[in-house]
Structure 1
Amino acid sequence: MDFVGILRKLKISGPHALVIIAAAVGLATAGGALGFRALIGYFNHLFFGLTDQKLMQAFGAGFKFWLPLIPMVGGLLVGPIVFHFAKEAKGHGVPEVMNAVARLGGIIRPRVAGAKAVASAICIGSGGSAGREGPIVQIGSALGSTIGQYLRLSEERIKVLVGCGAAAGISSVFNAPIAGVMFSVEVILGDFTIATFSPVLVSSVVASVLTRSILGNHPAFEIPSYGLISPWEIPLYMMLGVILGMIAVLFTRSLDIFENVFERLKIPDIFKPALGGLLVGSVAIFFPQVLADGYDTIRLSLNGQIVVWILVILIFLKILATALTLGSGNSGGIFAPSLFIGSMTGGAFGIAANYLFPHVTTSSGAYALVGMAGLVAGTTHAPMTALLIIFEMTSDYHIILPLMVTVAIASLVARLLFSNSIYTVKLAKRGIDIRAGRDINVLRTHRADEIVTTEFDSIPLSATIPVILGKMEQSLESDLVVLDGDGRLLGLITFQDVRRVISRRELDMLVVAYDIAHREVEAVTMDTNLEEVMNTFNVRGTGVLPVVNDKVSNKVVGIIRKDKLVEFYNQKLIEHLRR
């Protein structure tokens, strides 16, 4: 009997079954994360333990002119994996997961998990400037998708399991279960509903429990407790947010530029990762801090142990090294480099602030910590994830105000300067515009009149509570449109609105529809494109949207149901992919 058969025999189905499967995805991803961590350690020992020692014996321990050979050899091994076995393993992985959710029904080839693990472990272990967070997100997502495909689940449930794997990956790597959940719903799925949130939460918690039981419950960075020592620091943190937003855009654009440069190079693709590794190794001869994830250097910055000129240089060299690594086709994540660049930026800013305003500023380490969150928010366009991940990585909640201010401004500045995040810029080059887990291009070319329903239930503004309840019992709509005597839109009523007064019988004949309706309703017209309609649904959170003949007369001519829009989107997406 298969797993689904067992669940049916135990009379476990629907959401309950999905939660149990999500727990299994969490266990599998945590196991994958532990194995991936061990694999990185193995390759790091192979390249920088055994190989490095032999090279020093052969050439002496002086000037390490041979250092570039190590990441170059790593690139030679990565090339065949990413260009012949699983092209999805190229780069930092998260865009491929987003594309699978938005356009492929959550389907990720099972081989991707193994290919990503090996390719990224070789890249990071040989000194490539990348992190392990993006790879484990892709590994976990691939495991979730594979489990969903094996159990023959629906497309929507496979997508949820992909999100479960992503959340479990972040939870395992950072020991950050809350941030894992937020990353999944904010970046991967774009869906905050309970049906999605519950299994993602379970998967993240299960993964965290397993990794903590094996590795211990320790924050990623042990740092002094930092806090806000003066209100005058808030303007400084705001200024830091602006700088971090600009640095985030520089990082995002640099990665995009180097990907374009390497794509145009007239050499076989299989050798491009080796060239990238050679160039990164050349930088590392003088500044070895740019190699791998750079966590040791981040710790020094958080404790204020790096001089300012080194911090400034490392900001730009880490951007260069990461762009060379991932732009050339190597495999690894951008999260750790983002933390590194943010820490160096914040640390340098903090030293300058200490010098100029010694009596009202705290240690430069506090600014380095806040800088990490700000840079992550600026690159990923995921401010909530950035906030939570720093809290959980440091176990320090005393610096919440500076964090919130800096993250908000860094994210805003980055969005103003460049519309795409570091995850979506790669997809945008392919003509794919993903927002809230959907390919918006599919909706942009269609109008509201294609899915409008002209027969709909409405109620007059003077309808009493019993009349409203009677209409709701008869109606197929989740929300009712409130009209005046001329058919003009006055508002929208949901069951939640009625629920607030339903228990007070004395109000039955006193309260009317106009009293409880949402009057600030955003209606659409027949020629509104469906991208705008979807955005309006996401903002308003309603089940239907009124369609008016024009925004002046505001006469309602129909409604659009959200479920019908989603069904239309899925149908058009399938047609688009089959061309």
Structure 2
Amino acid sequence: MPDARTQGREPPEELPDDCTEEAERNYSRRQAPVLFGFRLPLGRQATMLLMGLLIGVAGGFGAIAFRWLITTCQDLAWGPGDTALGRIEAASPLMVLLVPALGGVLVGVITRYMAPEAKGHGVPEVMYAVARKGGVIRPVVVIGKALASAVCIATGGSVGREGPIVQIGAAMGSTLGRLFRLPVNAVRMSVACGAAAGIAGTFNAPIAGAFFALEVILGNFSSNAFGAVVISSVTATAITRSVLGNEPAFQVPAYSIHSPWEMWIYAVLGLLAAGAAILYVLGIEWFEDRFDALDRVPVMLRPAVGGLIIGFVGLFLPQIMGVGYDTIQPMLAGEVGLGMLLVLLVAKMLGTGLTIGSGGSGGVFAPSLFIGAALGGLVGGIAGHLVSFPIGSPGAYALVGMGAMVAAATHAPITAILIIFELTNDYHVILGLMVSCIIGTLVSQRVLKQSIYTMKLARRGIDLKEGQEVNVLRSVQVRDIMRHDMEIVQEQTTFAQLVDRMVLSPHYEFLVVDDDGRLVGIISVDDIRHALPRLSTQGEEFVAADLMSRRPITVRETDTLDRVMRCIARRTYEEIPVLPADGEPRPIGVIRRDDVIRAYNKQMLRADLGGSVSARMSDSTQQRLWAAIGPHVLGQVEVPEVLNGRTLASLHLPARHGVEVILIEHPERPDDSRYELPRGETVLETGQRMLLFGERSKVERLLEQWT
């Protein structure tokens, strides 16, 4: 099953098969950027390279501005100081306790009133925008995420700055792509360029930034996107180096492989990193569930509760507060004892879970590095006391542990390997790093199907790994498309009667029931054909009970089409009996293979059209019509009072008006749940906005009727 992040994204729009020179020129013009109403005379590749350059500049300066904002907030929260950890250690106990809580209050206000997307660690929102929303990210996210994350990090939240700068850079890329009126695929690639610029500018690692965008954000290594992403990553790195200097994020120890037997230790480190990553991801999920259950605490104040607990832990372990780079450095130098490494490993997991779970804003990448460094230092220190052959220093294992933990948590081993490689500029680190990262990733993927980035989406029913088509099939229930007309026969129905009914019936299968109406078997046309050679011997004694398959595959009316497709794949039946949801084995209808395919195509069209125009609905309340496909248009309208409380099915829009509702917007909801793919039982409410699809005249007629 293909990765959903490649669905609707690659390959880009293709030229028609019967392409003429005029068609090719028209295609190129559609791909060219538009600025202030003027279409720039650039081809597709040149356009994306130019966009990569512009987004790289924006992302580079954005990374610099974000780091300055964090430092400014730290000065305001803790007073001036050399390092973030030093400021916290020098503060009074009352400040350590209250500052994170006050920071949580500010974060709650920002995420409630300015940008709900700023809540959490940011990367899942970017992945969702690329996979489902045509790369659309609201411009306000740049400001909202920067403020929320800077406040959270500066006041002691146990999160990192990499996730926020990815989301900030991606929002910049999305905004520039739409400003130039680029097609959907180009906007998606612009988002990836922004993410690459953010990572590259933060870590001073242009190669890792590019591969992060391709491996994590886009989910593929398309040559169409590679050039623009690399240009963006390199540009952002050049800008940050010119302003902040060419210093790596960490001063790493000298690294070397002392014995081939060390590879076994690195393999063990990979296994342990997988276990730590699984606990890390599930821990964040657990804290989110616990805070969601706090019904008596307003959502806006929950980050303050998490901040208060972080402050209390910080009284004893201030190292877990903030990004944690000041503590990772002594771990790499081997200056932290084994006992303290174990305590910090557990405390950082809990601290990050508290911050993210309570609704704080910040990344999970830096905490992964922190936890990995602590784990690697532990493994290296313990191995040094147990093995007889020479091995590297605990700091060297801490370095590899950072990469292994990132790989296991994010399921992105290439990015993890390249980041550590660029931090060291030493090829010798690759051997042990590759062993740990690959083993950690494989074990983590085997046990936990979702990464730390996709888990949040999976909890909302969005499975990027299984593909958009599976999510679409899971959005439709059997009862929505089942047929109530079916052919039912009794067990004692004779062969002659069966043949007579089958000749006149439009159905492929007959459902066999007992005297109480319970399903006991199914007879298909193939069953009749295979029984013909036996007819001469059994004659009139041949009845339905002799022909039927006694263990028919059935589905419940509440099952999804995903299950139906899996059932169809197991048997060649064209129709599958549908049973009621209460468990009774009495058939209430059938569902046909072609009905499933038709419903799938219809839902895919809805998802594709809805995703590509959802941004236009949020960006403009003025425009009412957009061109779509041929003579068809998309139109938006607020739900009128006359429809309030009615279900969509009760309107019979396709039959009466020739118009489909393909998307419903809930303006009052946060962005991740703002848009809904409607179903028959969807209840309409005033204040919602509907997106209609149909021929222009029919859509315009409805718009006039409802406005």
TM-score band by shorter chain is: 0.7 to 0.9
Q: In structure 2, what residue type is equivalent to 1:191?
A: N
Picking from 197, 211, 229, the partner of 2:258 is 229
Query: Which residues in structure 2 correspond to 1:439-478 (within 5 Å)?
Result: 440-442=470-472
Q: Indicate the larger mover: 269-278 or 214-223.
A: 214-223
Aligned to 2:98: 69
Paired residue for 2:136, among 93, 107, 110?
A: 107
* Cα displacement string for residues 209-263 of structure 1 (whole angstroms, at most 9, x for unaligned residues): 1111111112111122211110111111101110110000000000011011111
2:159 is the counterpart of 1:130: yes
1:431 and 2:422 equivalent? Answer: no
Whether the 8 Å contact between 1:376 and 1:386 is mirrored in structure 2 is: yes
**Aligned equivalents of 1:441 and 1:36: distance in 2?**
36
Matching of residue 213 in structure 1 with residue 242 in structure 2: yes
Q: CA deviation at 1:292?
A: 0.5
Equivalent in the alignment of 1:244:
273
1:24 pairs with 2:54: yes
The answer as to whether partners of 2:606 and 2:677 remain within 8 angstroms in 1 is: no
Query: Equivalent residue for 2:65?
Result: 35
2:410 corresponds to 1:380? yes
Do 2:33 and 2:39's aligned partners in 1 also have CA atoms closer than 8 Å?
no
The answer for the alignment partner of 2:358 in structure 1 is 328
**Equivalences for 1:361-380 in 2 at 5 Å?**
361-380=391-410
Asked whether the 8 Å contact 2:607–2:677 carries over to 1, the reply is no
Amino acid in the other structure paired with 1:219? P
Q: CA deviation at 1:437?
A: 8.1
Shift of 1:395: 2.2
Matched ranges for 1:84-233 at <5 A:
84-233=113-262
Q: Which residue of 2 aligns with 1:391?
A: 421
Q: What's the CA shift string for 1:472-515, capped at 9, x where partnerless?
A: xxxxxxxxxxxxxxxxxxxxxxxxxxxxxxxxxxxxxxxxxxxx
8 Å Cα contact 2:274/2:444 also seen in 1: yes
- What per-residue deviation string (whole Å, max 9, x for no partner) do you get for residues 127-157 of structure 1? 1101000000000000111111111111111
**Taking structure 2 as the reference length, what is the TM-score of the superposition?**
0.62
Sort the Cα spacing of 1:62 and 1:323 in 2 relative to 1 into closer, same or farther, 3 A.
closer
Please tell me whether the aligned partners of residues 372 and 401 of structure 2 are also in contact (alpha carbons under 8 angstroms): yes
What CA deviation, in whole Å up to 9, does each residue of 1:398-449 have, x standing for no partner? 1211000000011111112211100111111110001398574126689xxx
Aligned-residue offset at 1:13 = 2.4
- 1:388-427 aligned at under 5 Å gives the runs 388-427=418-457
Indicate the residue corresponding to 2:374 in structure 1: 344
Q: How far apart are the structure 1 equivalents of 2:129 and 2:603?
A: 19
Q: Deviations over 1:103-139 (max 9, x none)?
A: 1111111100100001100011111101000000000
Report the secondary structure of 1:434's partner residue. Answer: coil
Q: Is the 8 A contact 1:95 1:424 kept in 2?
A: yes
The alpha carbon displacement at 1:195 in A equals 0.8
SS of match in other structure, 1:197? helix
Q: Structure 2: which 5+ runs fail to align? A: 1-31, 477-559, 564-568, 573-599, 611-661, 664-675, 679-707
Q: Find the residue that maps to 1:435 and give its secondary structure.
A: coil
Contact 2:33–2:40, Cα closer than 8 Å, also in 1: no
Is the contact between residue 272 and residue 440 of structure 2 (CA under 8 Å) also seen in structure 1?
Answer: yes
- Contact 1:433–1:439 (Cα < 8 Å) also in 2: no
The verdict on how the C-alpha distance between 1:187 and 1:377 changes in structure 2, with shifts beyond 3 A counting, is same
Does the 8 Å contact 1:25/1:203 carry over to 2? yes
Q: 1:570 to 1:141 in 2, by over 3 A?
A: farther
CA spacing shift, 1:176–1:531, aligned 2, 3 Å: farther
What is aligned with 2:699? none
Native 8 Å contact 2:35 2:179 kept in 1: no
Structure 1 residue matching 2:93: 3-state secondary structure: coil
Assess, with a 3 A threshold, how the Cα gap between structure 1 residues 218 and 566 changes in structure 2: closer, same or farther.
farther
Within 5 Å, which residues of 2 pair with 1:43-54? 43-49=73-79
1: distance between equivalents of 2:271 and 2:446? 11
Change beyond 3 A, Cα 1:344–1:151: same
d(CA) in 1 for partners of 2:59, 2:419: 18
Whole-angstrom distance in 1 between the partners of 2:468 and 2:333: 42
The aligned amino acid for 2:77 is: F
In the superposition, relative to structure 1, how do residues 278 and 118 fare at CA in structure 2: closer, same or farther (>3 Å)?
same
Q: Secondary structure at the match of 1:67?
A: helix
Alpha-carbon distance in 2 for matches of 1:107, 1:439: 21
Distance 1:29 1:134 in 2: 13
Instruction: Tell me, in whole angstroms, the C-alpha distance in 2 between the residues paired with 1:439 and 1:99.
Output: 15
* Residue type of the alignment partner of 2:270: G
**377-386 or 431-440, which deviates more:** 431-440
For residues 218 and 530 of structure 1, do their structure 2 counterparts lie closer, same or farther at Cα, with a shift above 3 Å needed? Answer: farther
For the pair shown, which has the larger CA radius of gyration, 1 or 2?
A: 2
Q: 1:83 aligns with which of 97, 100, 112?
A: 112
Q: Distance in 2 between matches of 1:349 and 1:293?
A: 23
Contact persistence 2:149–2:361 (CA under 8 A): yes
Alpha-carbon distance in structure 1 between the residues aligned to 2:109 and 2:469? 30
Structure 1 unmatched ranges of 5 or more? 447-528, 533-546, 551-564
Distance 1:360 1:114, change over 3 A: same
Distance 2:245 2:602 in 1: 46
RMSD: 2.8
- Give the SS at the match of 2:166: helix
Q: In structure 2, what is the Cα distance between the partners aligned to 1:380 and 1:107?
A: 23
Letter in 1 for 2:131: A
Higher RCO, 1 vs 2 (CA within 8 Å, ≥6 residues apart): 1
Measured in 2, the distance between the counterparts of 1:85 and 1:167 equals 25
- CA shift, 1:394, in A, is 2.6
Deviation at 1:267, TM superposition (A): 0.6
CA distance in 2, matches of 1:143, 1:20: 15
Superposed displacement of residue 191, structure 1: 2.5
Report sequence identity in percent.
47
- Change in CA separation of 1:166 and 1:570 when aligned onto 2, cut-off 3 Å: farther
> C-alpha deviations, 1:167-214, integer Å up to 9, x for none?
110000001111111111111111211111111111111111111111
Superposition map of 1:280-359 within 5 A = 280-357=310-387, 359=389
**Native 8 Å contact 1:172 1:211 kept in 2:** yes
CA contact (8 A) 1:387 1:407 kept: yes
Q: Quick check: 2:33–2:182 contact (8 Å CA) kept in 1?
A: no
Secondary structure at 1:399 match in 2: helix
For the pair 1:277 / 2:310, whether they are aligned, the reply is no
Query: AA paired with 2:348?
Result: K
Compared CA separation, residues 225 and 62, structure 1 to 2 (3 A): closer
**Cα 1:209–1:268 shift into 2, 3 Å:** same
2:583 match: none
Pick closer, same or farther for the CA change 1:129–1:445 going to 2, 3 Å. closer
- TM-score w.r.t. structure 1 length? 0.75
Alignment size in residue pairs: 461
The residue identity in structure 2 corresponding to 1:127 is: G
Q: Counterpart of 2:402 in structure 1: which amino acid?
A: M
Per residue, is there more helix in 1 or in 2? Answer: 1
